[in-house]
Amino acid sequence: MIPHDRQKAGLGGRPSLQMQKMFHRVMQADPMAVRQALIDIRARFGDDVSHDTIGRLELVLAEVMNNITEHTAPSRTDGLRRSASMIHLSIVRDSTGLACAVSDDGQSLPEDCLRPRTLPEAAHPDMPEGGYGWFLIQDLTQALCYYREGSRNFLAFNIPFAA
């Protein structure tokens, strides 16, 4: 098959295919790298999706990557000096929303994170200051799935256009 034919495969010979915007970034698991990626994602998709959708995307990705950053500290027991985990992030716009895939080479994700979460019932002054991240991720995503392969974690989910 010559390259020209291959490009047309499955498209019924139509000369053009509707290109969907995507974003890919490989970065160190570091709060400033995460912040910059989120700013760049807003710039990439901001013209195409609503403020509401981009806001939900930004929040979920922040929570996912913050968790990776927090749990990437080298283990003291392994006796080996490890560099910071590397995060690989891909986002593709499709017809229903923004499909996201995040992988990293940090510790494996505790199963508890993926179990259904409820918010703590708390009133002043006993409000917990943490524990909201996975609640937000679960609340704002669809088709959230996780697997570990070798030393890498893979997390995939969709941010729907309509909440």
> Which residues are near other proteins by CB under 8 A?
31-32, 34-35, 38, 49-53, 55-56, 58-59, 62-63, 66, 69-70, 119, 123-125, 127-130, 132-133, 135-136, 139-140, 161-163
Contact 148, 155 (CB under 8 A): no
3-state SS, one letter per residue, for the chain: CCHHHHHHCCCCCCCCCCCCCEEEEEEECCHHHHHHHHHHHHHHHCCCCCHHHHHHHHHHHHHHHHHHHHCCCCCCCCCCCCCCCEEEEEEEECCCEEEEEEEECCCCCCHHHHCCCCCCCCCCCCCCCCCCHHHHHHHHCEEEEEEEECCEEEEEEEEECCC
CB 31 within 8 A of CB 104: no
Cβ-based nearer residue to other proteins, 136 or 156:
136
Nearest approach, Cβ of residue 55 and other proteins (Å): 4
Identity at 110, one-letter amino acid code: P
CB of 123 to other proteins, least distance (A): 8
Of 132 and 154, nearer to other proteins (C-beta) is 132
CB-wise, 97 or 103, nearer to other proteins?
97
The residue among 132 and 146 lying less far from other proteins, judged by its C-beta, is: 132
Which of residues 23 and 61 has its CB atom nearest to other proteins in the complex? 61
